Amino acid sequence: MTSSATTEATARLVSTSMAAYLAGHPDLRYTFFGGKGGVGKTVMAGVSAVHLARSGRRTLLASTNPVHSLSGLLDQDVFGRQTAVEGFDNLWAYEIDTKDAIDRSKKDIRQKIQWFLKFAEIKTKADEFVEAATMNPAFEESAMFENMVDLMFKNEYDVYVFDTAPTANARRLLGMSKVYGLWVQKMLKSREEAQSLREALSFSKKKEDDPLMNYLVEFRARIAHARELLTDPQKTAFFFVTLPEALPIAVIRRFIDWFSDFGIPVGGVVVNGVIAPEDGETGSEFVRNRVEMQAGYLDEIGERFPGQVRAVIPLSDSDIRGLPALERAGSALFG
């Protein structure tokens, strides 16, 4: 890894570095790494978590991506539970078990549907409703989202680093908190009306306990709290990883627009996989062409994301795996 590979591009593209961004956000607590598939999200999340832990903060590195690779990255099994990372006393890693998250969400939904059917005095089995509610692609994501929010609310760490799925449905996930809020509002209103009608018609004036209503009230508070955390520019930052290539750039442009629309703070852009120009000079025609192509996309990145590029990471001659490699890459990401 030649450091001069990125010195020039860094000087040109990076006005506020990752280190400067962190220094300017001392209360940063929830960090996210997103981007197109295969661009280095997991690596950058790992590098950041190691850096934050080394700087003395109690850190959780969690993956909400159903296709995990944290265990591979760390050379340690971190699936399904928060696991202390060997060699640290303040770093934990956790690959959220998608199947488990989905099963729990399904049980939860079944219970709510049963409450609803009972309240509405409908004598139908909940099964079909459960099936309808859970047989859609957003369900898996929403289950993972719930899991992530649970982690955030538990408040057991100084800082959280989330390695997120490269999904195009990220937008739906973000929109969800807004839509949920409106939906819950409507549900509550009709629930209240139904409830007062029942009370008016019933002989006993005793107020019935309504578990669904209680749940909706609680859920609304939960969503509001999640939004509050996720839109707090001091606490939260989404970082987007890209390669100097057309598609990954297009993907993060869209993400950044959506996130800005939802008021979610964008921490910046990390440009990964940059080939050293001097390798271009000495390399094959293939490498020379790649270097030239990358130079064009680096210019595009500078134009599209002014002031937002936080680091330029050179392409290594091998995969970035294991703690020594993560610590080395840390100097490229954090200077």
Ligand X SMILES: Nc1ncnc2c1ncn2[C@@H]1O[C@H](COP(=O)(O)OP(=O)(O)OP(=O)(O)O)[C@@H](O)[C@H]1O
Binding residues (CB under 6 A) for ligand X: these are 37-43, 65, 67, 69, 166, 272-273, 313, 315-316, 319-321
- Binding letters toward Mg ion, positions 43-72, x by CB under 5 A: --------------------------x---
For residues 265 and 232, the answer to whether their CB atoms sit within 8 Å is yes
Q: Which is nearer to ligand X, 7 or 214 (CB)?
A: 7
- 311 CB neighbour count, 10 Å cutoff: 25
The option from ligand X, Mg ion, none interacting with 320 (CB < 5 to 8 A, set by class) reads: ligand X
Q: Is 42 in the site for Mg ion (CB under 5 A)?
A: yes
The option from ligand X, Mg ion, none interacting with 273 (CB < 5 to 8 A, set by class) reads: ligand X
For residues 7 and 310, the answer to whether their CB atoms sit within 8 Å is no
Q: Is 17 in the site for Mg ion (CB under 5 A)?
A: no
Q: Which is nearer to Mg ion, 69 or 76 (CB)?
A: 69
Q: Which is nearer to ligand X, 41 or 290 (CB)?
A: 41
Least distance from ligand X to the Cβ atom of residue 26, Å? 27
- Separation CA 245–CA 40 (nearest Å): 13
The option from ligand X, Mg ion, none interacting with 308 (CB < 5 to 8 A, set by class) reads: none
Q: Is 242 in the site for Mg ion (CB under 5 A)?
A: no
For residues 95 and 78, the answer to whether their CB atoms sit within 8 Å is yes
Least distance from ligand X to the Cβ atom of residue 242, Å? 10
The two counts, helices (H) then strands (E), for the chain are 13, 8
Q: Which is nearer to ligand X, 129 or 268 (CB)?
A: 268
- 299 CB neighbour count, 10 Å cutoff: 14
The option from Mg ion, ligand X, none interacting with 272 (CB < 5 to 8 A, set by class) reads: ligand X
Least distance from Mg ion to the Cβ atom of residue 72, Å? 10
- Separation CA 270–CA 184 (nearest Å): 37
Least distance from ligand X to the Cβ atom of residue 216, Å? 35
Q: Which is nearer to Mg ion, 63 or 236 (CB)?
A: 63
Q: Which is nearer to Mg ion, 42 or 272 (CB)?
A: 42
For residues 283 and 299, the answer to whether their CB atoms sit within 8 Å is no
# binding residues, Mg ion (CB under 5 A): 3
Q: Which is nearer to Mg ion, 66 or 280 (CB)?
A: 66
For residues 90 and 58, the answer to whether their CB atoms sit within 8 Å is yes
Retrieve residue 40's tokens: 């280095």
- Separation CA 313–CA 323 (nearest Å): 17
Retrieve residue 315's tokens: 């392409």
The option from Mg ion, ligand X, none interacting with 82 (CB < 5 to 8 A, set by class) reads: none
Helix axis angle for 98-119 and 211-230, nearest 10°, is 140
Retrieve residue 39's tokens: 């661009």
- 171 CB neighbour count, 10 Å cutoff: 16
Using CB under 5 A, list all residues that contact Mg ion. Answer: 41-42, 69
